[in-house]
Amino acid sequence: MTVGSGQVYVVTGGCGFLGSHLVRMLLEHEKNISEIRVFDLHLDESLRTLSNDRVKVRLISGDISRLEDVREALRGSHLVIHTASLVDVWGRVPASKITEVNVTGTMNVLQACKEEEVQYLVYTSSMEVVGPNIHGDHFYRGNEDTEYRIYHKEPYPLSKAKAEKLVLEANGAKIKGGKLLYTCSLRPTGIYGEGHELMKQFHRQGLRTGRCVFRAIPPAIEHGRVYVGNVAWMHLLAARQLQIHPSTLGGQVYFCYDSSPYKSYEDFNMEFLSACGFKIIGSRPLVPYFLLYLLALLNALMQWVLHGFFTYAPILNPYTLAVASTTFTVQTDKAEKHFGYQPLYAWEEAKKRTITWVKSLEVSRKDLKDVGEKGNYCCN
């Protein structure tokens, strides 16, 4: 549907880390829209103030796992960018809830597209649809066609793989009014940037250890990372080109990455944390892998024992250790060839923006005094 001179886009999960950057990206760079519907379970009222005289930002509170909520949000819209998801690999949320939101929620979006005559859907998938698997099979500079032993048993990657499959299978389906539905799926690697919750956790954790990060993963293990602004930009381009060349993009998957350096997860985080005086201790892991694995197992046992009394969900568990310990990097030009994707932000700009944000955590942390910080550095 076109409102006035522009189209109506729906961004599910639009108040999230990626979603909020996507809303801002659409406002700044997409001239064909007149309304952005931000559909989310947890609304961020600050997004409402982003409306301008050309584009209205409309916040819609709803649950993706309720079909009626989704249908109402999509009614009269032109295109959906579906980013809403429970992103949990720590056992914070029951597996059934992850499935309900990530799989049933996606089924609802597809159903609502068909019933509300929405022809275009861009799905935010994940590298985890492919891997890394828990067998330690490295995926080195792989692309969308690289053979890989895909093995999922964790709820989150399993749910993303199931959801992506549903999205791709729906491409070309007839929708109400006799039109066809066109879908595509974007697979970002580990997203970083302003507002990344996990980075906040690493920052908090580092303050408690005197701004020291104790190396746990061999530096040679490379993990692909991508700046949130480039992920948002790729979604905008895919949404635009899916409408113009549906037969090219329809039913396709695209890895989403940029020129961020290939590094170990810890070394990459230090690109930003070191700007706040953090130091990584050890040129190689300080403890042998088997001890780390025992600690991860202990965390998993503690989570099981405390289940029902307290949600114990530390960063380190057998799954996150396996993922962190397995190289997963992508190198592909499929998105460039199909819809002209080039990162909008170069690495230096992405780094600068992220460092500025991480530094703001220092200023805004009200409990800085609680960790006895006041300039105490373990490694002066």
Ligand X SMILES: NC(=O)c1ccc[n+]([C@@H]2O[C@H](COP(=O)([O-])OP(=O)(O)OC[C@H]3O[C@@H](n4cnc5c(N)ncnc54)[C@H](O)[C@@H]3O)[C@@H](O)[C@H]2O)c1
Ligand Y SMILES: CC(C)[C@@H](O)CC[C@@H](C)[C@H]1CC[C@H]2[C@@H]3[C@H](O)C=C4C[C@@H](O)CC[C@]4(C)[C@H]3CC[C@]12C
Contact set with ligand Y (CB under 6 A): 87, 89, 126-128, 190, 198, 216-217, 223, 265-266, 315-316, 320-321, 323-324
Q: Is 126 in the site for ligand X (CB under 6 A)?
A: yes
Which residue number, 44 or 373, has a Cβ lying nearer to ligand X? 44
Q: Return the residue of 101, 122, 175, 234 that touches ligand X, per CB under 6 A.
A: 101
Which residue number, 109 or 231, has a Cβ lying nearer to ligand Y? 231
How many Å apart are CA 27 and CA 34, to the nearest integer? Answer: 9
Closest approach, Cβ 128 to ligand Y, in A, equals 4
Q: Which residue is nearest to ligand Y (CB)?
A: 190
**3-state secondary structure at position 222:** coil
Closest approach, Cβ 170 to ligand X, in A, equals 17
What single string gives the DSSP state of each residue in 38-96? EEESS--GGGGGG--SS-EEEEEE--TTSHHHHHHHHTT-SEEEE------SSSSS-HH
Among the listed ranges 60-68, 139-147, 273-281, 356-364, the one in contact with ligand X (CB under 6 A) is 60-68
8 A C-beta contact, residue 102 and residue 163: yes
Please state whether beta strands 79-82 and 120-124 pair in parallel, antiparallel, or not at all (unpaired): parallel
Closest approach, Cβ 76 to ligand Y, in A, equals 31
Q: Is 154 in the site for ligand X (CB under 6 A)?
A: no
Q: Which helix (H) or strand (E) holds 34?
A: strand 33-40
**Residue corresponding to tokens 């310990």:** 325
Closest approach, Cβ 190 to ligand X, in A, equals 5
**3-state secondary structure at position 19:** helix
**3-state secondary structure at position 304:** helix
The 184-213 contact track toward ligand X, x by CB under 6 A, reads ----x-xx----------------------
Among the listed ranges 12-20, 134-142, 232-240, 349-357, the one in contact with ligand X (CB under 6 A) is 12-20
- Quick one: tokens of 71? 């249908």
Q: Is 335 in the site for ligand X (CB under 6 A)?
A: no
Q: Which does 70 bind (CB under 5 to 8 A by kind): ligand Y, ligand X, none?
A: none
Q: Return the residue of 6, 8, 11, 19 that touches ligand X, per CB under 6 A.
A: 19
Which residue number, 32 or 146, has a Cβ lying nearer to ligand X? 146
Which residue number, 89 or 300, has a Cβ lying nearer to ligand Y? 89
Q: How many residues does the chain have?
A: 380
The secondary structure of residue 37, as a DSSP letter, is E
8 A C-beta contact, residue 162 and residue 101: no
How many Å apart are CA 320 and CA 19, to the nearest integer? Answer: 24
Closest approach, Cβ 366 to ligand Y, in A, equals 25
**Residue corresponding to tokens 């006895």:** 372
**Cβ contacts of residue 323 below 8 Å, gap of 6+?**
89, 128, 132
Q: Which does 84 bind (CB under 5 to 8 A by kind): ligand Y, ligand X, none?
A: ligand X
Among the listed ranges 8-16, 140-148, 321-329, 359-367, the one in contact with ligand X (CB under 6 A) is 8-16
Q: Which residue is nearest to ligand X (CB)?
A: 16
Active-site residue numbers? 156
Cα 91 to the center of its chain, rounded Å? 17
Q: Which does 269 bind (CB under 5 to 8 A by kind): ligand X, ligand Y, none?
A: none
Which residue number, 83 or 211, has a Cβ lying nearer to ligand X? 83
Q: Is 63 in the site for ligand X (CB under 6 A)?
A: yes
Q: Is 64 in the site for ligand X (CB under 6 A)?
A: yes
- Quick one: tokens of 88? 């949990």
Q: Which does 316 bind (CB under 5 to 8 A by kind): ligand X, ligand Y, none?
A: ligand Y
8 A C-beta contact, residue 117 and residue 136: no
Q: Is the peptide bond before 132 cis (omega within 30 degrees of 0)?
A: yes
8 A C-beta contact, residue 273 and residue 213: yes
Q: Is 124 in the site for ligand X (CB under 6 A)?
A: yes
Which residue number, 105 or 285, has a Cβ lying nearer to ligand X? 105
How many Å apart are CA 63 and CA 199, to the nearest integer? Answer: 27
Query: Footprint of ligand X on this chain (CB under 6 A)?
Result: 13, 15-19, 40-42, 63-65, 83-87, 101, 105, 124, 126, 160, 188, 190-191
